[in-house]
Amino acid sequence: MISLAEVTGLKITTLLDNITQSAGPVAHWGFSALLEYDAEGKKRVLLDTGSDRECILRNLKTLKIDLRGIDAVVLSHGHWDHTSATVDVVKAAGGVSVYAHPSAFQPVFRVDEKGKRHRISVPDGQGVADIEAAGGQIILSKTPIEVAPGVWATGEVPRDSFETIMELVKERLVREGSDAPDTIPDDQSLFLREKGVGLTVITGCAHSGPLNILSYVEALTGERVKALIGGTHLTGRKPEYTAATIEGLRKHDLRILSPCHCTGFKAMAELSHTFPETFVLNYSGNTLEPAKILRERKAPL
């Protein structure tokens, strides 16, 4: 059982997402989020580095965010839309530890109906050697690991629910050297406990399944998750799959639900309609402060 140190003042700024709400930060398919909080001093953890280096660098400049001295970078998994600016981030940080699953840097391909392979994994120039040359220290772990005071990465998530990786009708995902369907074992999320909020989970794509992730984090900590923020990979799902996910979410005690990135418009709309008191829209350039959200809603702490 993991005993979490309680943090305060959590702010989660989405540096890159599929949508934007202003003329400032740009949108691009992909995800990156910066966590800022207090725990033995000010701490900052970056989850994922987005899909396009020019977009994320522009958004950092627009938002006036300086990454120098950040405490850690965590890669939720090894797909290109979450790992395309890792070297740039490491350089901007002045060197930093980069946490990932041991399988995160393995080449992954989308195979179409004609058998043609399209690489979707970490882009060229963003691999282990490149990150280390930029001043990064790679730390690989399959198991839960504390990446900064009070903030943990789940490591590999058990798959116990009905949830599947994704729905590809005429295509499949494979890893280099194998024709077996890829299960994306490298998918991981962050979790922490904030004063006045409780257990909070931040996902990248949630390829493990949001319900599996919630159940795993609750099993690891012995606590109920109160806030779920990030991708849920409900885009392109059949209506009955989304409905089953929503039914599963009803069984959790969430007070904040802020899905983004790979959730998809239809699922976002359904989640907003089903959970109007907990749903919070997220987008490029947005900053979420969970404790402030609950105070403004006068939700019981």
pLDDT digits (tens, 9 = 90+) for 202-216: 999 999 999 999 999
Q: Which residue has the tokens 């882009």?
A: 123
Token representation of residue 32: 């990156």
Query: Could you tell me which of 10, 148, 154 has the C-alpha nearest to residue 69?
Result: 148
Residue-wise pLDDT for 238-265, tens only, equals: 999 999 999 999 999 899 999 999 999 9
Q: Which domains does the chain have, with CATH numbers?
A: 6-296 (3.60.15.10)
Q: Confirm if 76 and 48 have CB atoms less than 8 A apart.
A: yes
Residue-wise pLDDT for 125-174, tens only, equals: 999 999 999 999 999 999 999 999 999 999 999 999 999 988 776 788 99
Residue 26 has pLDDT above 90, yes or no: yes
Residue-wise pLDDT for 285-295, tens only, equals: 999 999 999 99
- Look at phi and psi of residue 81 and say left if phi exceeds 0, alpha if psi is from -120 to 50, else beta: alpha
Residue 106: other Cβ atoms inside 10 A? 17
pLDDT tier at 301, thresholds 50, 70, 90: low
What is the pTM for the complete model shown? Answer: 0.96
**Could you report how far apart the first and last alpha carbons of the chain are, in Å?**
24
Q: Confirm if 217 and 191 have CB atoms less than 8 A apart.
A: yes
pLDDT at 113: 85
Residue 43 φ/ψ, nearest 5 degrees: -130, 150
Within 8 A by CB and 6+ apart from 169, the residues are none
Mean pLDDT of the chain: 95
Bridge partner list, 145: 153
Residue 300 has pLDDT above 70, yes or no: no
pLDDT at 218: 98
Q: Confirm if 69 and 94 have CB atoms less than 8 A apart.
A: yes
Query: Could you tell me which of 246, 117, 129 has the C-alpha nearest to residue 171?
Result: 117
Euclidean distance between CA atoms 60 and 74, whole angstroms:
17
- Look at phi and psi of residue 232 and say left if phi exceeds 0, alpha if psi is from -120 to 50, else beta: alpha
Euclidean distance between CA atoms 77 and 192, whole angstroms:
19
